[in-house]
Amino acid sequence: MMASFGNQSTNADWLDSLPLSGLGKVNEFAIKFANVNGTGSASANNLVLKAIFRMGVPVSGKNLFPSNIQGLPTWFEIRVSESGFTARSSSPDIVVAMNPQTYRDDIVSIKPGGALLYDSSWPLSSDFERSDVLNVGVPLSRLCSEKFPDPRQRVLLRNVSYVGAVSGLIDLDYQILSELLNETFHSNPKLQKSNQIALEIGYQYVKESYVTPLPIRLEVRDLNAGKILIDGNTAISLGCVYAGATVAAWYPITPATSVSENFESLCERLRTVELSNPDGTVSNVKNFAVLQAEDEMAALGMVIGASWAGARAFTSTSGPGISLMNELLGLGYYAEIPAVIFDIQRTGPSTGMPTRVQQSDILLSAYASHGDTKHILLFPGNPNECFQFAVKAFDLADHFQTPVIVLSDLDIGMNDWVADEFTWDANYEWDRGRILGQEELSKIAKFQRYSDQDEEYVTSRTLPGKDSKGAFFTRGSGHDQFGNYTESPEDYIKVMERLLNKHKASVNWIPEPIVRIRDKAAIGVITIGSCEPAVLEALDHFEKDGIEMDYLRIRGFPFHQSVKSFIEDHEQTLVVEQNRDAQLRSLLILELGIDPNLLMSVLSYGGFPLTSDDVLTRAKRILKGWDRCPR
Partner 1 sequence: MPSIIKPSIPLIPLAKNDLGLTIRNYEGSMSTLCAGCGHDSITAAIIRSFFEMSLPPERIAKISGIGCSSKTPTYFVSGAHGFNSVHGRMPSIATGANAANRSSIYIGISGDGDSLSIGAGQLVHAIRRNVDMVYLIENNGVYGLTKGQFSATADVGSRAKKGKANKVTPIDPALLAISLGASFVARSFSGDKEQLVPILKAAISHRGFALIDVISPCVQFNNHNGSTKSYSYVREHELKDIETSYVGEFSEITADLTQGNLTSVTLHDGSEVVFRSLPAGYDSHSRESAIAYINGAVARNEIPTGLLFIDEQAPDMHQVLETTSEALVDLSYESLCPGGGQLEKFNQSFK
Contact set with its own copies (CB under 8 A) = 66-67, 319-320, 322-324, 326-327, 330-331, 333-335, 347-356, 358, 360-361, 363-364, 367, 369-374, 475-478, 487, 489-490, 492-493, 496-497, 500, 579-581, 583, 586, 589-590, 593-597, 605-608
By CB under 6 A, residue 69 contacts ligand SF4: yes
By CB under 6 A, residue 252 contacts ligand TPP: yes
3 state DSSP class of 549: strand
Alpha helices in 62-131 (DSSP H): 103-108
- Residue 301 contacts residue 324 (beta carbons within 8 Å): no
Q: Which of 319, 317, 411, 318 minimizes the C-alpha distance to 357?
A: 411
Give the one entry of partner 1, its own copies, ligand SF4, none that residue 496 binds, where binding means its C-beta sits below a cut-off of 5 to 8 angstroms depending on kind. Answer: its own copies
By CB under 6 A, residue 410 contacts ligand TPP: no
By CB under 6 A, residue 20 contacts ligand SF4: no
Give the one entry of its own copies, partner 1, ligand SF4, none that residue 326 binds, where binding means its C-beta sits below a cut-off of 5 to 8 angstroms depending on kind. Answer: its own copies
Stretch that binds ligand TPP, among 99-107, 248-256, 341-349, 487-495 (CB under 6 A): 248-256
Stretch that binds ligand TPP, among 185-193, 319-327, 374-382, 384-392 (CB under 6 A): 319-327
Distance CA 74, CA 611 (A): 18
Q: Tell me the angle at which helices 232-242 and 383-400 cross, rounded to the nearest 10 degrees.
A: 40
- Residues 326-365: x where in contact with ligand TPP by CB under 6 A, - otherwise, as a string: -------------------------x--------------
Site for ligand SF4 in 32-61 (CB under 6 A): none
Give the DSSP letter of residue 315. E
Nearer of residues 324 and 496 to ligand TPP, judged by Cβ: 324
Phi, psi of 536 (to 5 degrees): -60, -40
Q: Tell me how far, at minimum, the Cβ of 68 lies from ligand SF4, in Å.
A: 8
CA 531, distance to chain mean position in Å, is 10
Please report, as a single letter, which amino acid is at residue 10: T
Nearer of residues 357 and 588 to ligand TPP, judged by Cβ: 357
Give per-residue burial for 153-192: e unless 16+ CB within 10 Å, then b: bbbbbbbbbbbbbbbbbbbbbbebbbebbeebbeeeeebb
Nearer of residues 52 and 328 to its own copies, judged by Cβ: 328
By CB under 6 A, residue 285 contacts ligand SF4: no
The H-or-E segment that residue 629 falls in is none
Choose, by CB under 6 A, the member of 250, 251, 263, 333 that binds ligand TPP: 251
- Residue 343 contacts residue 322 (beta carbons within 8 Å): yes
Q: Tell me how far, at minimum, the Cβ of 30 lies from its own copies, in Å.
A: 18
Q: Tell me how far, at minimum, the Cβ of 189 lies from partner 1, in Å.
A: 21
Q: Tell me how far, at minimum, the Cβ of 411 lies from ligand TPP, in Å.
A: 19
CA-based torsion, 548, 550, 357, 371: positive or negative: negative
Q: How many CB atoms lie within 10 A of CB 126?
A: 9
Q: Tell me how far, at minimum, the Cβ of 7 lies from its own copies, in Å.
A: 33
Report the 3 state secondary structure along 570-625. CCEEEEEECCCCCHHHHHHHHHHCCCHHHEEEEECCCCCCCEHHHHHHHHHHHHHH
Q: Tell me how far, at minimum, the Cβ of 72 lies from ligand SF4, in Å.
A: 11
The residue ranges that bind ligand SF4 (CB under 6 A) are: 69-70
